[in-house]
Homo-oligomer: A and B are copies of this chain.
Amino acid sequence: LNEFDLIRRYFTPPTRHTVLAGGDDAALIAVRPEMEVAVSTDALVSGQHFFAEAEPRAIGYKSLAVNLSDLAAMGAIPRWATLSLTLPDADPVWLERFSEGFLSIAQDHDVDLIGGDTTRGALTVCVTIIGEVEAGRALRRSGARPGDELWVSGTIGDAALAVAHLRGDLVLQPAERAGAMQRLDYPQPRVKLGRGLLELATSCIDISDGLVADVGHLGECSGVHISIELDALPRSALALRYCDHPIGRRAVLAGGDDYELAFTAPAAHRSSLEALAGRGVALTCVGRVEPGSGVSVVDRSGVPMILAETGFDHFR
């Protein structure tokens, strides 16, 4: 298989809303009037974002999922993606599974794969996602105001517990491991939720670096202090079992791989948010926005915790 055959065989599904995709020097897309274009890019690197022996289907799925999650956090509709794939060799079995994973989530979200390239080298998957959002209406990190409440979608901590298991830091039982691995390998980008938040949230971010770090970004961009109530954090049965274990506590505060949304909203929107949760993913109020700066986490006795490890940083 040469480079062109490889792209033709695995990465040229039909497109549904693209003027010209693949096979030319650039793809052409038409953006609807009154829409701004949202663009995000994220590379997944073997040994950093996934284990080298990870299931290729999961790598393909997740490489698009994490980018979709970025658009979800903006309240944008994902529409198009490019894929730049660096591979040690052109293994047809690996490629078949990788492309299945990538294309299945692309189809679920009606995203057209419009271009990309392949190169020989260390396994790196670089995806750029492009979407649309009503002009002037995107959710940003900078709109949180004192008096707002902090919310988190779904449950958090499971993906980090899966990582801890894979690293040998703790041992999960087969049934709990399966659930945690599913959260790690197949995160559900909260695109529909992001759309629903357009009218309701004042700021929004996806939890990719860890809850405290990402809420810290909201606080920094908005110029406010955000207080998180530890016991309010939504956890699965598994994460609850580990809630007093240092690894479990770190998973929920600093584990970033769940790709849930953290957002702020005025207290007046509480019932609208509860109605939104009733139609989709659970939403939990987990803290509040105050004047000041920084993030604090308050434990069950009301005492602020000392935050040693607040997130993940590739170069720290």
Contact = CB atoms under 8 A, between A and B. Distances in A.
A172 interface: no
A171 interface: no
Interface string A58-100: 0000000000011101101000101110100010000000000
A119 B125 CA distance: 12
A128 interface: yes
Which of A27, A114, A131, A314 is the most central at the interface, judged by chain B CB atoms within 10 Å of its CB? A314
A257 interface: no
A190 to B, nearest CB: 12
B30 A135 contact: yes
Interface in A146-199: none
B40 A36 contact: no
Contact of A41 (B45, B70, B84): B84
B73 A25 contact: yes
A277 interface: no
Interface stretch (A1-9, A226-234, A244-252): A1-9
Contacts of A90: 315
Nearest to A204: B25
B26 A39 contact: yes
A76 B129 CA distance: 20
Contacts of A275: none
Contact of A24 (B29, B221, B316): B221
Interface stretch (A46-54, A103-111, A278-286): A46-54
A124 interface: yes
A118 B39 contact: no
A122 interface: yes
A232 to B, nearest CB: 24
B141 A41 contact: no
A19 to B, nearest CB: 6
A1 B117 contact: no
Contacts of A2: 313, 315-316
B20 A138 contact: yes
Given A28-B39, A43-B126, A120-B314, 6 more contacts: A24-B141, A26-B70, A26-B71, A26-B129, A46-B121, A122-B122
5 contacts: A19-B36, A25-B70, A30-B36, A37-B37, A40-B82
Interface of A: 1-4, 6, 19-20, 23-31, 33, 36-43, 45-49, 69-71, 73-74, 76, 80, 82-84, 86, 90, 114-122, 124, 126, 128-131, 133, 135, 138, 140-142, 204-206, 221, 313-316
